[in-house]
Amino acid sequence: MSLAIVAGAVGLGAGALVPTYLASDFALRLGSEGLLLGMLALSVAFLMSQAGLVALGAASIYGGAGYLFAIGMSEWDLTPMAALCVGFLIIVAYATVLGALIVRTNPLAFMMLTLAAGEMLSHAVLLEGLRDYTGGADGLVVRMKGTILGVDVAEFANPARFWSLAWVVACLIGLAFWLVGRSRLGAVLRAVRENEERMRFSGFNTFVPRLAAYVLVNIVAAIAGFLHVLNAGFVSPESLGLSVSTNALVAALMGGIAGAFGPILGGLIFSFAQDEFGARGLTQLLTGIAIVVFIVLFPRGVVGGLSSALRLLGWRREAP
């Protein structure tokens, strides 16, 4: 156990520092985008693997958190820390109310309701009556002044420093989800996923665990959204769009939804692949082909495929 802790700490530190010396600023920016997408993918994957629910509105929380921070800074004249806290509380309240309304539904209805809620928010920011707050189709440029926990918010635009921060946050979130998956909450969620009626008959409350999981994954999506706006200094309606939600779902499937760190790896792969495909001018075509290839060759994702390969090699070594 102690060896695993030491290895994890070394990996955390090496991942945060080594790329800042070896990679260019461009590569670090791409990697940071991949980590943010990986966090969003992790929230989607956790709900899929533990509760059997697919959320197609993850981008509404991701982009909504960015909008709340930008509005808090620009319109409400809040400090960066106050804007984060206010935005976080609003996101938690919204996720709790929405979750209370939809987690009792069947998986298909849940997926469609999260999609509908996300689409409503993505169109709401374009309303003419809200243009003074949201900037309409132009988005909002955030006035980056002040500090967060003693760190000047302007420092979040530095590629090397932001990579280190995003890496640490992504790893800690992955560890937190790994622990939750092995806790009583994770066990109850999986049991409800398998047979909700039997769990109710056994006297278990099936509503509260699902609601808690839904709020938890939305908190993670909000953290990714806050980090995105701090790094970019800008938020636009595209961050609320369906494409962001589908990208997160694809990244989760590519990395593997069963593990805690597969979706983060999937986010990194997706981010760098999109850059390569874009350079060839065939982004959509090559992305579609890559998704099909990944799903055929790695039905359990890259991490799941590697785990199966290692187990197979271990079995073959023991067989002789």
Q: Which helix (H) or strand (E) holds 140?
A: strand 140-141
CB 83 within 8 A of CB 69: yes
* Cα–Cα dist 209/212, whole Å: 5
Q: What is the pLDDT of residue 310?
A: 67
In a domain, 301, yes or no: no
State mean pLDDT over 42-66: 88
Map residue 48 onto helix, strand or coil: helix
Q: Is residue 289 in a domain?
A: no
Helix residue ranges per DSSP H, the chain: 2-22, 25-46, 58-74, 80-102, 107-124, 131-134, 159-181, 184-194, 196-201, 207-232, 242-255, 262-279, 283-297, 301-318
> Can you give the residue range of the structural domain that contains 218?
14-241
| pLDDT, position 320 | 45
CA distance 251 to 36: 11
Total tally of structural domains belonging to the chain:
1
Check residue 85 and give its pLDDT.
Answer: 92
User: Does the pLDDT of residue 318 top 70, yes or no?
Assistant: no
Residue 320 covered by a domain: no
For tokens 């309701």, name the residue: 113
Does any domain span residue 8? Answer: no
**227: in domain:** yes
Q: Tell whether 37 is covered by a domain.
A: yes
Average pLDDT over residues 242-266: 85
158-187: average pLDDT: 89
pLDDT band at 319 (very low <50, low <70, confident <90, very high): very low
User: What is the pTM assigned to this prediction?
Assistant: 0.90
pLDDT of residue 317: 47
Closest CA relative to residue 134, chosen from 56, 201, 69? 69
Look at residue 292 in the predicted model and tell me its pLDDT.
Answer: 83
Tens digit of pLDDT for each residue in 95-108? 999 999 998 888 88
Does any domain span residue 2?
no
In a domain, 218, yes or no: yes
